[in-house]
Amino acid sequence: MNAMRHINCEIEDNLLLVVMSRGKANAINSEMIEELNAALDEARENQRIRAMILASGQAGFFSTGFDVKEVFRYDRQTLARFFTRFRDFHEGLRLLAKPVIAAVSGHAYAGGAMISLACDERVFAEGDYGFAVNGINIGITFSPGLVQLALDGLGLSHARELLLGAKTFSPSQAFRIGIAHEIVPVEQSLDRAKARALSLGAKPASAFAGMKSAIVQATSNEAFRRERERLDEFVEQWFLPESERLRQRLVDSLRRE
């Protein structure tokens, strides 16, 4: 793969390790989402790769989601392109005919939390970390596909807490409700993600691909179809006066930190 600025990729034991390494908190911008999609293409097309791991190289953070200082300034056309490519990534993880494991070694917020939910399994690190989606607090309504990811990962009751209440889940709470498949000390999170990826990657490839496809077909395809149809509506919602005011308030608070 070509050299990248915001992620690092390597193949180890037939696993594609994708390590996000942008800024302090892996805040996602247009350039980073293109790199993540390129890594996903490599996992999809390289027959040597049996599984993919999504991890973080930043201490204390998996990803805080969108880079608010940049993404919130995008015009409609740029924002539509960004959301399209973000959708391509999380939907691509969900559809990838190979195992995908997230090593959630710190805070996972907003888009970062949703990306982890698109993976097949999640290993959480122990610690004072949060898992939350606060879009409703800044006037953002999630698209049908992202809502479906929450429903698939948490069930209806807890998805309501995540999306409507903007509740922050601790690692132990995430484990109790099934978001986290395992909780380990932070220094072991990547190794445990690798172990789980190796275990799933050792399954017969065609059987794994067929079973994962069957699960996808049985759950959330309709929601993702509607997401593609409603992109313009989703983008326009970002430019409502209330949404713009709340997002600007968030940006201003970050500048004061």
- The ranges assigned to domains in the chain are 7-256
Sequence-ordered alpha helix ranges (H) in the chain: 30-45, 68-71, 76-95, 110-117, 144-163, 171-176, 189-201, 205-219, 221-229, 231-238, 241-256
Residue keyed to tokens 């390790």: 17
Helix, strand, coil shares, percent, the chain, to 5:
55, 15, 30
Measured CA to CA, the distance from residue 119 to residue 56 in angstroms comes to: 14
Q: Strand, coil or helix: what is 181?
A: coil
Stretch among 34-38, 75-79, 128-132, 134-138 having the lowest mean pLDDT: 134-138
Rg of the chain in Å (alpha carbons): 17
Measured CA to CA, the distance from residue 36 to residue 86 in angstroms comes to: 9
Query: For residue 38, what pLDDT band results from cuts at 50, 70 and 90?
Result: very high
Q: How far is CA 27 from CA 41, 108, 151, in A?
A: 21, 10, 24
pLDDT (0 to 100) of residue 227:
67
Report for 76-85, 141-150, 238-247: range of highest mean pLDDT: 76-85
pLDDT for 146 beyond 90: no
Measured CA to CA, the distance from residue 212 to residue 184 in angstroms comes to: 26
Sign (positive/negative) of CA torsion 72, 56, 163, 168?
Answer: negative
The two tokens of residue 195 are: 């172990």
**For the residues 57-85, what does the mean pLDDT come to?**
94
CATH homologous superfamily of domain 7-256? 2-enoyl-CoA Hydratase; Chain A, domain 1 (3.90.226.10)
Choice between 250 and 162, residue whose per-residue pLDDT is larger: 162
Of 220, 208, 18, residue with least CA distance to 116:
18
pLDDT for 134 beyond 80: yes
Q: Please give the order of strands across the beta sheet that includes 60-63.
A: 60-63, 106-109, 131-132
Stretch among 29-33, 52-56, 180-184, 240-244 having the lowest mean pLDDT: 240-244
Of 111, 90, 86, residue with least CA distance to 31:
86
**For the residues 101-116, what does the mean pLDDT come to?**
97
Q: What percent of the chain has pLDDT over 90?
A: 73
Measured CA to CA, the distance from residue 173 to residue 195 in angstroms comes to: 23
DSSP state of 240: S
Verdict on whether the full-model pTM lies above 0.85: yes
